[in-house]
Amino acid sequence: MLAIFKKEMIAYFKTPMGYVFLSVFLFVAGLVFSLLNLAIVGSSASTDTSTFFTFLLGSFFILIPILTMRSFSEEKNKKTDQLLLTAPIRLSSIVMGKFLAAMSVLVCGLAVIGLYFLLLSSKGNYNAPVLLGNFLGLFCIGAALISIGLFISSTTESQLVAVIVNEAVMVALLLLSLFGPSADTTFLAKALSFISFFSRYSNFTSGQFDLVSLVYYISIAFIFLFLTTRTLEKKRWN
């Protein structure tokens, strides 16, 4: 697993992929933070971070498919996946190595954003539990979305198809979160709210440690990592 992890990390920063993800992510974060919390537009600085983190969450649905699209698709397109599938290494280790590499790139971006608040803590009275809750929520959602992206990438050899399908899934998740509460029946509204990424994230934004939501995101990540492993296993036997 460590060898796969190192290989993927080198690939992220040997190609523009890692730089593109981090530069766009940090540009969006820096711009929104400047406008909302440094009060470039406005008369006074604001310590309300809810809108800032909402923008960050929205950027996940656009950027994470780009981060994961090459994970397996590129291997299949270049036929180098045969080397992985025939190597004396467990398929779960291959999947986890790629997953941890993508998560590491994401964590790098979140760490830089954390410095925003650390450096400006003397300028504003930020609520530490709320900040930690938001970062934990973003980390958990990121893990779930990355696992979904890896699974989609494992099903096609085209990076373009992978990113288009992944973006379509992201849009579906977004619409589900937005329109679920307005469903015709109470049961359907509750069911859609239960599986909604956004409604569960909102539990973290208040600074509360929501164990149920944490288990939910971990379960989503586990399920799609498992499905990715089974996809590779099917290809190995074929």
What pLDDT, on the 0 to 100 scale, is given for residue 105? 95
What pLDDT, on the 0 to 100 scale, is given for residue 184? 56
Burial 142-161 (b: 16+ CB within 10 A, else e): bbbbbbbbbbbbbbbbebee
pLDDT digits (tens, 9 = 90+) for 122-144: 665 667 788 888 899 899 999 99
- How far lies 15's CA from each of 9, 110, 223, in Å? 10, 21, 29
Residues contacting 235, CB < 8 A, separation 6+: 81, 85
What pLDDT, on the 0 to 100 scale, is given for residue 131? 86
Local structure of 73: helix, strand or coil: helix
Cα 59 from Cα 215, distance rounded (Å): 23
Q: What is the mean pLDDT of residues 91-109?
A: 93
Cα 121 from Cα 93, distance rounded (Å): 40
Cα 35 from Cα 33, distance rounded (Å): 6
pLDDT digits (tens, 9 = 90+) for 36-73: 776 544 444 556 677 888 888 888 888 999 899 888 88
What pLDDT, on the 0 to 100 scale, is given for residue 40? 47
Mean residue pLDDT of the chain comes to: 83
- How far lies 82's CA from each of 72, 79, 154, in Å? 11, 6, 13
Torsion of CA 209, 212, 215, 217, to 10 degrees: -80
Percent above pLDDT 90 for the chain: 29
Q: What is the mean pLDDT of residues 136-160?
A: 92
Q: What is the mean pLDDT of residues 211-222?
A: 90
